[in-house]
Structure 1
Amino acid sequence: MKLVRKNIEKDNAGQVTLVPEEPEDMWHTYNLVQVGDSLRASTIRKVQTESSTGSVGSNRVRTTLTLCVEAIDFDSQACQLRVKGTNIQENEYVKMGAYHTIELEPNRQFTLAKKQWDSVVLERIEQACDPAWSADVAAVVMQEGLAHICLVTPSMTLTRAKVEVNIPRKRKGNCSQHDRALERFYEQVVQAIQRHIHFDVVKCILVASPGFVREQFCDYMFQQAVKTDNKLLLENRSKFLQVKQSYPGIVKNGDSFA
Structure 2
Amino acid sequence: MRITGRDPSGEGIRVQIETDEDIWHLYNVIEVGDLVTASTTRREEKAADKIRAERAEKKRMTLGVRIEKIEFSEDDLRLKLLGTIETGPQDIGQHHTLILENGDSLLITKRHWRETQLERLDRAVRDSKKPRIVFVSLDQDDATVAVLRQFGLKEVTTVRSGRSGKQYAEKPQADGYHAEVISKVVPLMEPNMPVVLLGPGFEKESLADDMKKAEPELFKKVHVYHTGQCGMVGINELIKTGMGAEVLRESSVGAEMEAVEQLMTEIARNGLGTYGTQQVRDAAMSGAVEKLLVLDTKIREQDLDDVVRAVESQKGSVIVVSSQHDGGRELASLGGMGAILRYRTE
Interval of TM-score (by shorter of Structure 1 and Structure 2) = 0.3 to 0.5
More helix as a share of residues? 2
Q: Normalising by the residue count of structure 1, what TM-score does the alignment of the two structures yield?
A: 0.47
Q: Normalising by the residue count of structure 2, what TM-score does the alignment of the two structures yield?
A: 0.36
Find the structure with the greater CA-based Rg.
1
Larger relative contact order, structure 1 or 2 (CA cutoff 8 Å, min sep 6): 1
